[in-house]
Amino acid sequence: MTTETVTELDAVIIGAGFSGLYMNHRLRDQLGLEVVVFEGGDNVGGTWYWNRYPGARCDSESYMYCFAFDRQLMQDWEWSGKYPEQPEILRYLDHVADRFDLRRNVRFRTRVTSARFDEATERWVVRTDHGDEVTARYLITGIGCLSTGQIPNFAGRDSFTGEAYHTGSWPHEGVDFAGKRVGVIGTGSSGVQSIPVIARQAEHLHVFQRTPQYMIPARHGTVDKAVLDKVKLDYDAIFDRARHSVGGFPYDVPTRSALSVDDAERQAIFEQTWQEGGFRFVFGSFSDLRTNLASSEAAAEFIRAKIRETVHDPEVAEKLTPRDHPFGSKRTLIDTDYFETYNRDDVTLVDICTDPIAEITPTGIRTTSGEHYELDIIVYATGFDAMTGSFNRIDIEGRGGQKLKDKWAAGPVTYLGLGSAGFPNLFMITGPGSPSVLTNMPIAIEQHVDWITDAIRHLDDHGIATIEPTAEAEADWGRHVNELAAPTMFMHADSWYLGANIPGKPRVFMPYVGGMGTYRTRCEEVVANGYEGFALGVAAPALAD
């Protein structure tokens, strides 16, 4: 497209990750719409295109971290690991793009800078950083929940003369840590996955930890072919269970409270799910680890004991032990050899809760006590402006010139996480207010894409020009999301779920905590009730010449 080109489209999709790829397939190939996808990267993959740090891996088991919309695709693809590693996920998405010919209408290396709803034509006017301008009836965001990285504004940050990287924007050619003094700031999922791998390569690794974390061992390994073959035979049933589950996983969900059994049985159940590894500890042990403080504390104590058993130096073990927030209040981390890494002589833990980072210097990091750590490489594993950051990067303007950013100044306001009042025909895939990050993402993404596709088909079939949430429905939904979150552990930590990791961001719990199955049912009811909570606008009569 040249700068001057104006193209009239049916739909613009932003992003070519899991969401954008599947949305493109549904709208372009199944509804036959004229679609363009804008993607900032030079290939498909989204989150998995950018997050290439060492050890990057998904915490969902591989057989569940994939599309289910095409049965043959599910049968043909062979995962090699129990958990899919980043290069393999990218290969998978590449394969999907090839298989369904999903690249031909993607404009790569192109970011959408603004999108304005033109009330006269009832079309979105979309502009990009290449100067493109297109108009479309529908605007669909597949921009990810964790795709706008944040590097804290430490004093002297830009004075560092060594190499500096953010985990979410990793160089494609990789980073050579051999013989280097490396500092990793941050111990969320990205830090915890990368730290053991970097430790094995670097001359010395300093880990700058502000908050100790609860972790469950992944028990990662190669995939058991026999298990995978068995799963493939039963795929439909497995996915059906996952679709109607709380977390988007097909696990048996216990109904027992951690307090309903005696201590010996409780420990045995924790131990069993700990040995199985991954999210089974959270979803497969007891029903109330994230809703009952005493149950959460029992899980926390179990993990604290594991840390003491694993880490040889008791002082280091104590620094690594989380005590300031309940288990289940932050994203539960899944690790491989994380605590074991601190038994290495070439790894040092720096507790920046008691001795915060004062400044980044040209040659390293100085903490408030005056201690200076000489470094060749700094890795910022400092997370993302989650859920709303990627919306705020685009100048989105709805009816009456209202900016989405302004509307969301006190926190995101959506109906079902699918749309926002005053922004007609704007659909969000896994937007704030939907289960999204609290679930196995492909399950949530497919549900949203299917729902949006059905809505667009409904509009087209009935000659309806616009759909948008009513202010009342979205206010009710917002209240509901908050009410569900209020009694959970999630409200007891400074997490990115609450926006607490970004200075000045409003403290609002953003995802829907009620579970994927419940949410799906609600979305189906909305449709069955004639798109309840949405205002449907009849097409304006064509103007006479």
Say if residue 179 is exposed, middle or buried (CB neighbours under 10 Å; 0-12, 13-18, 19+).
exposed
Q: Out of 86, 128, 190, 425, which residue is the one contacting ligand NA7 (CB under 6 A)?
A: 190
Given the rule CB under 6 A, which of 20-28, 182-190, 272-280, 521-529 is the region that contacts ligand NA7? 182-190
Q: Which of residues 455-514 bind ligand NA7 (CB under 6 A)?
A: 494, 496, 501
* Consecutive H or E run containing 10: strand 6-14
Q: Which of residues 410-439 bind ligand NA7 (CB under 6 A)?
A: 437
- Asked if residue 249 binds ligand NA7 (CB under 6 A), the reply is no
Nearer to ligand NA7, 48 or 79 (CB): 48
> Which among 56, 146, 93 is positioned nearest to 499, based on CA atoms?
146
Q: Out of 352, 378, 438, 452, which residue is the one contacting ligand NA7 (CB under 6 A)?
A: 352
Q: If you ran DSSP here, which 8-state letter would residue 165 be given?
A: E
Nearer to ligand NA7, 88 or 468 (CB): 88
Given the rule CB under 6 A, which of 253-261, 360-368, 379-387, 420-428 is the region that contacts ligand NA7? 379-387
Q: If you ran DSSP here, which 8-state letter would residue 202 be given?
A: B
Q: How far apart are CA 83 and CA 5, in angstroms?
A: 44
What stretches of 249-319 show up as alpha helix (H) in DSSP? 263-276, 280-283, 293-310, 314-319
Nearer to ligand NA7, 192 or 418 (CB): 192
Question: Is the C-alpha dihedral spanning 73, 76, 82, 85 positive or negative?
Answer: negative
Question: Shortest approach of ligand NA7 to residue 176 CB, angstroms?
Answer: 22
Question: Shortest approach of ligand NA7 to residue 64 CB, angstroms?
Answer: 15
Q: Out of 191, 217, 499, 517, which residue is the one contacting ligand NA7 (CB under 6 A)?
A: 191
Number of residues that bind ligand NA7 (CB under 6 A): 22
**Residues of the chain by 3-state class (helix, strand, coil), percent to 5:** 35, 20, 45
Q: Out of 20, 142, 188, 398, which residue is the one contacting ligand NA7 (CB under 6 A)?
A: 188
Classify 491 in phi/psi space as left (phi over 0), alpha (psi -120 to 50) or beta.
alpha
| Rounded alpha-carbon distances, angstroms, from residue 268 to 272, 302, 360 | 6, 11, 46
Nearer to ligand NA7, 138 or 496 (CB): 496
Record the tokens describing residue 375, joined without a space. 């470094």
Say if residue 6 is exposed, middle or buried (CB neighbours under 10 Å; 0-12, 13-18, 19+).
exposed
Nearer to ligand NA7, 193 or 453 (CB): 193
> Which among 432, 397, 396 is positioned nearest to 415, based on CA atoms?
432
Compute φ and ψ for 491, nearest 5 degrees.
-80, 0
Q: What is the per-residue binding string for ligand NA7 in 132-161, x denoting contact by CB under 6 A?
A: --------------x-----x---------
Given the rule CB under 6 A, which of 4-12, 134-142, 375-383, 462-470 is the region that contacts ligand NA7? 375-383
Q: Out of 14, 106, 125, 185, which residue is the one contacting ligand NA7 (CB under 6 A)?
A: 185
How would DSSP label each residue in 402-437?
A: -BHHHHTTTS---BTTTB-TT-TTEEETT-BTBSGG
Detail the DSSP E strand segments found in 92-194.
106-107, 112-118, 123-128, 133-141, 163-166, 181-185
Nearer to ligand NA7, 186 or 514 (CB): 186
Nearer to ligand NA7, 503 or 530 (CB): 503
Q: Out of 60, 110, 189, 245, which residue is the one contacting ligand NA7 (CB under 6 A)?
A: 189
- Asked if residue 166 binds ligand NA7 (CB under 6 A), the reply is no
Q: How far apart are CA 13 and CA 208, in angstroms?
A: 39
Nearer to ligand NA7, 21 or 352 (CB): 352
- Asked if residue 367 binds ligand NA7 (CB under 6 A), the reply is no
> Which among 375, 387, 438, 390 is positioned nearest to 179, based on CA atoms?
375
- Asked if residue 331 binds ligand NA7 (CB under 6 A), the reply is yes
Q: What angle do CA 442, 192, 316 make, to 5 degrees?
A: 155
- Asked if residue 186 binds ligand NA7 (CB under 6 A), the reply is yes
Detail the DSSP E strand segments found in 210-261.
215-217
Given the rule CB under 6 A, which of 122-130, 219-227, 376-384, 470-478 is the region that contacts ligand NA7? 376-384
- Asked if residue 187 binds ligand NA7 (CB under 6 A), the reply is yes
Record the tokens describing residue 517, joined without a space. 């199955």
Q: Out of 381, 421, 445, 508, which residue is the one contacting ligand NA7 (CB under 6 A)?
A: 381
Given the rule CB under 6 A, which of 237-245, 263-271, 301-309, 377-385 is the region that contacts ligand NA7? 377-385
Given the rule CB under 6 A, which of 179-187, 289-297, 445-453, 466-474 is the region that contacts ligand NA7? 179-187
Q: Which positions lie near ligand NA7, rule CB under 6 A?
A: 146, 152, 167, 185-191, 210-211, 331, 352, 381-384, 437, 494, 496, 501
